[in-house]
Amino acid sequence: MSQALKGIIPPLVTPFKDDETIDEAAFRGTVRFMLEKKVHGICIGGSTGEGHTLSTEELARLCEIANEEIQGAVPIVAGVIANSTAKAIEMSKAVARHNVAALQVTPVHYVFKPDEDATYAHFERLTREVGLPVVIYNVVPWNYLSPALLVRLMKGLPGVVGVKQSAGDLKLMADLLIDLPEGKQVFTAVDALLYPSFALGAHGTIAANPAAVPGVTVALWDAVQAGDHARALQIHRALLRFWNALFADNLPANVKYALSLQGCPAGGPRMPMPQPDPARQAAIRTQLESVLRYEA
């Protein structure tokens, strides 16, 4: 990779206008907000960014805008959420024109699950035809890749440079870390357990909590890197309470609401995702006030 990936890499929300088109001005503001919080990179088109709703052209445009704002200051990861190898390649080639450091690619996520050899063939063709480094986004519940398969992919395919390990099972991430091939990376998306993930040796995080409170997660990362585990534990407890308020099936909308409370307008979600209801808003406001005390 021309730019190394590490640390706090928030998956940016995608602001939408009332007509559900992308609010480019608000997206530029979101990018600048993240840079002000000293993040180590950004991810575009991930789950938090409602990447499953974006067209190829929209994803590429967001990458273009981000590059205009960032000017090479931090690496950009582009999320590719697609249900076929051909579509994943189409999206990847479109964003590759915009100085993307790596791709974050989900396994296919429709109801038909390929076997392990087919999954291997999917990533082999993708990395061969596109030529960009790939971080596998291991998130799909009915196509959740085992540590053994992930290690096989990283060992066999030079273009697969790492894994973003999602869902709530820290044991699976720990298993992956102890067998990790040399030179490969694991990024945690176990939002409730960022602190133990970092302590176990995760190379960073691409997750919703960093998208909502980037400065706090930078402070957590810095504390762990400095060996200040007393402070890290304090931040973890506040972050966990915040996460418990934030997490729901409309998580991207909740992240947008949390950003708006910090002076970063982030628009609404695309239908059919709902806005946070009044009870959720109140919970987020309460925990946000507490967790922001730990900003870096």
Q: Is 164 a catalytic residue?
A: yes
Task: State the average pLDDT over residues 120-149.
Answer: 96
Point out the catalytic residue in the list 37, 137, 184, 256: 137
pLDDT in tens, 42-51: 999 999 999 9
CATH class of 7-294: alpha beta
Residue 263: which region, alpha, beta or left (left: phi > 0; alpha: psi -120 to 50)?
left
202 pLDDT above the threshold of 60: yes
Q: Is 137 a catalytic residue?
A: yes
User: What are the sequence ranges of the domains in the chain?
Assistant: 7-294
Task: State the average pLDDT over residues 155-168.
Answer: 94
Point out the catalytic residue in the list 164, 184, 195, 257: 164
168 pLDDT above the threshold of 80: no
181 pLDDT above the threshold of 60: yes
5, 135 contact by CB (below 8 A):
yes
Task: Give the pLDDT of residue 9.
Answer: 98
> pTM to 2 decimals?
0.97
